[in-house]
Amino acid sequence: MVKCSFCGQEIPKGTGKMLIKNDGKILYFCSRKCEKNMIELKRNPKKVKWTEEYRKWKKNQITKQTIKN
Ligand SMILES: [Zn+2]
């Protein structure tokens, strides 16, 4: 099962989209929404609240803060 390159959600077979960039990097998108955010809006998944990346990043930040305190 592949995961969406933007939001990190698993993409069921037969759905989603695969995009091969000029540099050979393969990106998977579960929806047009993710594709648009990554390609057209060039957003960083870490800065978009509904992505798995953001949740991971936020969790990391919290852990780091806890250690500091
Ligand atoms: Zn997605």
In tens, the pLDDT along 21-50 reads 999 999 999 999 999 999 999 999 999 999
List domains and CATH numbers for the chain. 2-68 (2.30.170.20)
Say whether pLDDT at 8 is over 80: yes
CA of 36 to the centre of ligand 1 (A): 10
pLDDT given at position 49: 95
Q: What secondary structure does DSSP assign to 9-40, as a single string?
A: -EE-TT-SEEEE-TTS-EEEESSHHHHIIIII
Note whether 54 and 45 are within 8 A (CB): yes
Q: Percent of the chain having pLDDT more than 90?
A: 83
CA of 66 to the centre of ligand 1 (A): 30
CA of 24 to the centre of ligand 1 (A): 20
CA of 47 to the centre of ligand 1 (A): 14
Say whether pLDDT at 64 is over 90: no
Element (H, E) at 52: helix 52-68
Regarding beta strands 10-11 and 17-20, do their DSSP bridges make them parallel or antiparallel, or are they unpaired? unpaired
pLDDT grade for 65, boundaries at 50, 70 and 90: confident
pLDDT grade for 57, boundaries at 50, 70 and 90: very high
Note whether 16 and 4 are within 8 A (CB): yes
